[in-house]
Amino acid sequence: MRHWSALLTLAGGLLVVGPSPAAAQQPAPAAAPAAATAPPSSNVRIAYIDVQRVLARSSAGVAAREQLEREKGVMQKEMDGKRQELEKLRDELEKKGPLMTADARREKQETFERKRRDAARMMDDFQKELEKKEQTLLQRVLAELSGVIEKVGKDKGFYMIVEKRGASVLYASPDADLTDDIIRAYDQQTPAKKTP
């Protein structure tokens, strides 16, 4: 029978697949034996993708990660300079401190503490900035990716595509894995952008 409602239950997290839009518009069929109304498993096509693998292997994901690494490198150089400056001040305090007047030593100590606090604040700011940039880049990639997933799903005739890690997939056949297809389609749609 062509008109049916599919119910797919996965242990742990219930995943319900409702009637297809075409079946919902058709009049209900006459009562039939229970065996005849069970959906043939070959008609329900469900696939999954591993979004983390797409982000790690697609050209846009790789470009985003490389951009973050470059920015992290610039920030790290600046932090290394601050660290060296602090080490120099600390060494100066340890070696010359006993020879300094009390006022000069206190002033040097205050300078060291101020620069240490500034460096710690800068490190926190850099960390927040990197997290924000990473989030922005990932959101952009995921937004672009959703259109690609929808197109590949429609082109390949899938009823549903789930994310492997977030959907509590308890078993998935490798044949249902669309991740590589999504990466290829995404790379074709969004060629790697060269970032400065």
- pLDDT tens digit sequence for 51-100: 889 888 999 889 888 999 999 999 999 999 999 999 998 998 888 888 88
Show which of 124, 140, 156 is a domain's final residue.
140
Strands 46-49 and 160-163, by their bridges, are parallel
Over range 105-123, report the average pLDDT. 92
Q: Given this model, what pLDDT does residue 141 score?
A: 84
> Is the pLDDT at 194 greater than 60, yes or no?
no
Over range 154-180, report the average pLDDT. 79
Over range 161-170, report the average pLDDT. 74
Q: Given this model, what pLDDT does residue 140 score?
A: 87
Q: Note the pTM of the prediction, 2 decimals.
A: 0.57
Same domain, 14 and 76: no
Higher pLDDT, 141 or 14: 141
> Is the pLDDT at 139 greater than 80, yes or no?
yes
Same domain, 69 and 118: yes
CB count within 10 Å of CB 52 equals 13
Q: Domain for residue 159, yes or no?
A: no
For residue 59 the two structure tokens come to 């050209």
Q: Domain for residue 170, yes or no?
A: no
Q: Domain for residue 164, yes or no?
A: no
Q: Given this model, what pLDDT does residue 164 score?
A: 84
Q: Domain for residue 151, yes or no?
A: no
Q: Is the CB of residue 181 less than 8 Å from the CB of residue 81?
A: no
Based on the structure, what is the number of domains in the chain? 2
DSSP type of residue 27: P
For residue 94 the two structure tokens come to 């340890």
Q: Domain for residue 57, yes or no?
A: no
To which H or E segment does residue 49 belong? strand 46-49
Same domain, 134 and 73: yes
C-alpha–C-alpha distance, residues 19 and 12, integer Å:
22
Over range 133-154, report the average pLDDT. 87
Q: Domain for residue 21, yes or no?
A: yes
Same domain, 75 and 135: yes
Over range 173-180, report the average pLDDT. 83
For residue 12 the two structure tokens come to 């742990």
Split at pLDDT 50, 70, 90, the class of 36 is: very low
Q: Given this model, what pLDDT does residue 88 score?
A: 92
Q: Domain for residue 59, yes or no?
A: no
Q: What value does the mean pLDDT of the chain take?
A: 75
What domain range includes position 3?
A: 1-32
